[in-house]
Amino acid sequence: MKRKRMFLPTILLLTICLFNFKVNANINDARNNRQAISRGPQLVSYAKRFLGIRYKWSGQSPSGFDCSGFTSYVFKSFGIELPHSSYGQFTSGQKILKSQLLPGDLVFFQTSKRGISHVGIYIGNGKFIHASSGKGYVTITSLSEPYYLKRYRGAVRVLR
């Protein structure tokens, strides 16, 4: 009988703890989304200042950017350090679905056989800004453009 009396309060306590954990996780997710919503447009506006800057392999300054150099430069201006590699950036944040994209999220593509090899910043309305080696400069492109649609591999939220 004693075991049954101990078992029920233990189950009740565990249930309460799990519920509190889930509520706190949801509250933190909501806070992160609010911050992403508020800082994302500012980040996008800043990124657009570099439209037309030439593409430069391994470039990470306004004298020339490669894709991950561009994204790391923009995010660094907002106090967020990102690695200078598209794959490194892919593993740096919270994975999100395409349907959850907000301005300021990072979008990733496989443009070569070696996996994640291109990154850009989602700007809203199905478009992203990136340093394009094909175009030779920082540009805005639609995610539905066939080349990128076929190569899309995921998105990450690093704004918190």
At 100-110, the pLDDT tens digits run 999 999 999 99
Q: Does position 117 have pLDDT exceeding 80, yes or no?
A: yes
For domain 2-157, give the CATH number: 3.90.1720.10
**120 bridge partner residues:** 107
Cα 58-140-145 angle, rounded to 5 deg: 105
Domain ranges of the chain: 2-157
- For 117, the token pair is 């090899």
| Rounded Cα gap, residues 63 and 46, in angstroms | 16
Q: What are phi and psi of 78, to 5 degrees?
A: -110, 20
* 16 or 4: which leads in pLDDT: 4
- For 99, the token pair is 């349907």
84 counts as catalytic: no
118 counts as catalytic: yes
> pTM (2 decimals)?
0.78
**What Rg, from alpha-carbon coordinates, does the chain have?**
20
The catalytic residue among 130, 138, 155, 156 is 130
The catalytic residue among 118, 122, 131, 158 is 118
